[in-house]
């Protein structure tokens, strides 16, 4: 844990400074980051694409640091402390990917045909070759081709401009773009889990947020960007928050289970958007699509085509930090977690359980709404029928995978962003339907929710107790 370490020299010196100068320092840092944002994002994308090199560099730096602190034993302890919680999720993802690969192989038609002609070994070879091709396409679509990135860097330094580099880091950029809605939606479900609430309605809340943000974005075209952009972001966020708040209110007042009410609200929101998009909001007859939002409402992009990373990514990172702060450093967050751990104790301790439930569902909805907002204002710039892309349901897996911890959700979202960004390339390159990713994701949930399976596959005995305990969110249909 970070708090328990002895403060380093720099940290102690910073803490000794007066508050105003610390704030000033922070402001200067933020301003510098905003000014340099373009280059920082490019650096991040390159680092993602060249992650093995970055990993090795990191280990090298760690080894250098460890020389003054006791060498290898210290480094081992440090690494173990960082990796301890990752065994189970890592193995779960690995196992799910392997099973996904096996499913790919046994459903391969070319393999069937080869086997049918009696060429068993050829068939097997083909199966593995196709599997390899599919997963390589997945990797390349999500993280880019490292060789291409390296040559593009070389060409950029030799004065050929940034364009080759930009197209080489398209994979990492797609991954980040895909992970933005995942981060928001995953946080939404995770916050619910912390309060013992299961928000399955993220999908509908995403739609409501998207819809509201886009409506504001195209109907108030005359406003300048510094008003219109925040206004549409906030409208989308609060609309979704209120939408989810209905379920929270019903749960708190009548005991109607939020699993059913949020699912019902999902279907209501689908019908609502069908009516709006093919009716009053339809721009061109027969398209079931709204008109485009004003340029002032766009979430700006950092770099040129084909890199589409936009400011939604920064918002998502801020959302991660804010949720972590809210959950673990504020009184309301403490109440929320207590209600989740034991509502009776919370009530006995004088906490307002009903308030906590309604507030949590509202915040959860706000976060889910931001997922829609970031898609609408950052990527599509309008809303069309069939916008539901399954982010809401995948987010359940994210919250489980990240153990309902905001930082964990961030990691899980990046992973799912990789899967999703790679899936479309896998479809175009290897002809594998993108739904294989959905199967892999549901397997991940199974393995995370039932750690005993992973434990018995890998004969692990050393998993900590907290890791083997299954998450519990159910309390029957009643209150």
Partner 1 sequence: MAAKADAIQARRATGFARKDLLMTAGIVVVGAVLFFFGRYGADPGETAAFTDQELGRLFSLPSQATLYALAGLALLFGGLRLFRSLGSLRSVLGWGLAAAVVFAFLVWVTSGTSLNLSGMLQDTLKLATPLVLGAMAGIFCERSGIINIAIEGMMLTAAFSAACFASIFDSLWMGILVGVISGGLMALLHAWLSIKYKVDQIISGTVINILAAGATRFLNVRLADPAGMSAPGKFDPIAIPVLSKIPVLGPILFNQQPTVYLMLILLVVVQFVIFSTPWGLRMRACGEHPRAADTVGVNVNRMRYLGVILGGMIAGIGGAYFSIGEVGSFEDGMTRGAGFIALAAMIFGKWNPVGAFGAALLFGFADALQVKMQSIEPLLPFANVPIPPEFLQMTPYILTIFVLAGAIGSAIGPAAEGKPYEKQ
Q: How far apart are CA 355 and CA 73, in angstroms?
A: 49
Q: For Cα atoms 273, 278, 281, give the angle at the middle one, nearest 5 degrees.
A: 75
307 neighbors 166 (Cβ within 8 angstroms): yes
- The region of 33-41, 56-64, 102-110, 226-234 touching partner 1 under the rule CB under 8 A is 102-110
- Position among 66, 235, 261, 364 found at the interface with partner 1 (CB under 8 A): 261
- The smaller minimum CB distance to partner 1, of residues 71 and 255, is found at 255
275 vs 288: CA distance, rounded Å: 9
Measured between alpha carbons, how far is 44 from 175 in angstroms, rounded to an integer?
12
Closest Cα to residue 424, out of 180, 200, 170? 170
The rounded distance, in Å, linking the Cα atoms of 188 and 186 is 5
Q: Of 217, 216, 181, which Cα lies nearest the Cα of 202?
A: 181
Cα gap 21→14, rounded to integer Å: 9
- DSSP single-letter state for residue 195: T
How far is CA 58 from each of CA 52, 61, 75, 193, rounded to the nearest angstrom? 10, 5, 12, 34
The answer to whether residue 145 forms part of the interface with partner 1 (CB under 8 A) is: no
Of the two residues 323 and 455, which places its CB atom closer to partner 1 in the complex? 455
What string marks each residue from 159 to 198 as x (binds partner 1 by CB under 8 A) or -?
A: ---------------------------------------x
The distance of closest approach from Cβ of residue 86 to partner 1 in the complex, given in angstroms and rounded to an integer, is 21
CA distance 236 to 211: 7
Cβ proximity to partner 1: between 324 and 445 the closer is 445
Nearest distance in Å: CB 477, partner 1: 5
Q: How many helices (H) does the chain have, and how many strands (E)?
A: 23, 0
Q: Does 436 bind partner 1 (CB under 8 A)?
A: yes
Residue 473 binds partner 1, judged by CB under 8 A: yes
Choice from 279, 284, 350, 459 touching partner 1 (CB under 8 A):
279
Stretch that binds partner 1, among 32-40, 143-151, 417-425, 468-476 (CB under 8 A): 468-476
Contact segment (CB under 8 A) with partner 1 among 52-60, 122-130, 409-417, 466-474 equals 466-474
Q: Which lies closer to partner 1 via its Cβ, residue 52 or residue 116?
A: 116
Cβ 452 to partner 1, closest distance in Å? 5
Give the nearer residue to partner 1 in terms of CB position, either 364 or 438.
Answer: 438
Binding partner 1 by CB under 8 A: which of 40, 97, 223, 453?
Answer: 453
Count of residues in the chain: 479
Report, in Å, the least distance between residue 130 CB and partner 1: 12
The CA distance from 140 to 431, in Å, is 15
Rounded Cα gap, residues 197 and 422, in angstroms? 32
Binding mask 371-410 for partner 1 (x = CB under 8 A): ----------------------xx-xx--x----------
Residue 432 found at the interface with partner 1 (CB under 8 A): yes
Find all residues with CB under 8 Å of 387, minimum gap 6, and list them. 207, 210, 273, 375, 380
Among 94, 449, 460, 463, binds partner 1 (CB under 8 A): 449
Q: How many Å apart are CA 282 and CA 286, to the nearest integer?
A: 8
Which residues contact partner 1 by CB under 8 A? 103, 107, 109, 198, 200, 250, 253-257, 259-261, 263-265, 267-268, 271-272, 274-275, 279, 393-394, 396-397, 400, 432-433, 435-439, 441-443, 445-446, 449-450, 452-453, 470-478
């Amino acid at each position: 844990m970070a708090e328990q370490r002895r403060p380093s020299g720099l940290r102690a010196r910073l803490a000794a400074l007066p508050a105003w100068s610390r704030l000033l320092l922070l402001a200067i840092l933020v301003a510098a980051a905003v000014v340099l944002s373009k280059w920082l994002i490019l650096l991040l994308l390159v680092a993602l694409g060249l992650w093995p090199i970055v990993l090795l560099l990191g280990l090298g730096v760690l080894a250098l640091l460890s020389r003054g602190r006791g060498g290898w034993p210290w480094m081992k302890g440090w690494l173990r402390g960082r990796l301890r919680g990752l065994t189970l999720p890592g193995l779960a993802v690995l196992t799910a990917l392997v099973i996904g690969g096996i499913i790919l192989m046994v459903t391969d038609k070319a393999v069937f045909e080869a086997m049918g002609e009696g060429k068993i070994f050829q068939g097997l070879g083909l199966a593995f070759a196709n599997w390899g091709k599919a997963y390589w396409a997945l990797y390349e679509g999500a993280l880019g081709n490292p060789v291409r990135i390296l040559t593009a860097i070389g060409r950029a330094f030799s004065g050929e401009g940034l364009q080759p580099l930009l197209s080489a880091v398209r994979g990492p950029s797609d991954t980040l773009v895909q992970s933005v809605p995942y981060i928001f939606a995953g946080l939404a479900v995770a916050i619910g889990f912390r309060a013992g609430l299961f928000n399955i309605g993220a999908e509908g809340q995403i739609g409501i947020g998207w819809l509201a943000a886009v409506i504001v974005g195209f109907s108030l075209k005359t406003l300048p960007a510094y008003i219109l952009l925040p206004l549409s972001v906030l409208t989308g966020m609060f609309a979704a928050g209120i939408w989810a708040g209905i379920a929270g209110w019903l749960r708190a007042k009548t005991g109607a289970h939020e699993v059913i009410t949020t699912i019902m609200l999902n279907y209501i929101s689908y019908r609502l958007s069908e009516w709006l998009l093919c009716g009053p909001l339809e721009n061109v007859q027969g398209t079931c699509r709204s008109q485009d939002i004003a340029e002032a409402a766009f979430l700006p992009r950092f770099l040129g085509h084909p890199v589409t990373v936009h400011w939604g990514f920064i918002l998502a990172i801020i959302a991660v930090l804010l949720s972590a702060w809210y959950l673990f450093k504020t009184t309301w967050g403490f109440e929320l977690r207590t209600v989740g751990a034991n509502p009776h104790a919370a009530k006995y301790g004088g906490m307002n359980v009903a308030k906590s439930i309604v507030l949590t569902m509202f915040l959860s909805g706000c976060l889910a709404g931001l997922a829609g907002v970031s898609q609408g204002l950052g990527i599509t710039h309008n809303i069309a029928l069939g916008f539901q892309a399954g982010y809401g349901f995948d987010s359940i897996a994210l919250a489980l995978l990240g153990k309902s911890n905001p930082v964990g959700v961030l990691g899980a979202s990046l992973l799912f962003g990789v899967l999703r960004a790679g899936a479309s390339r896998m479809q175009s390159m290897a002809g594998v339907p993108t739904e294989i990713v959905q199967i892999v994701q549901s397997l991940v949930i199974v393995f995370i929710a039932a750690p005993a399976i992973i434990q018995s596959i890998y004969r692990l005995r050393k998993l900590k107790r907290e890791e083997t305990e299954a998450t519990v969110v159910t309390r029957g249909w009643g209150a």
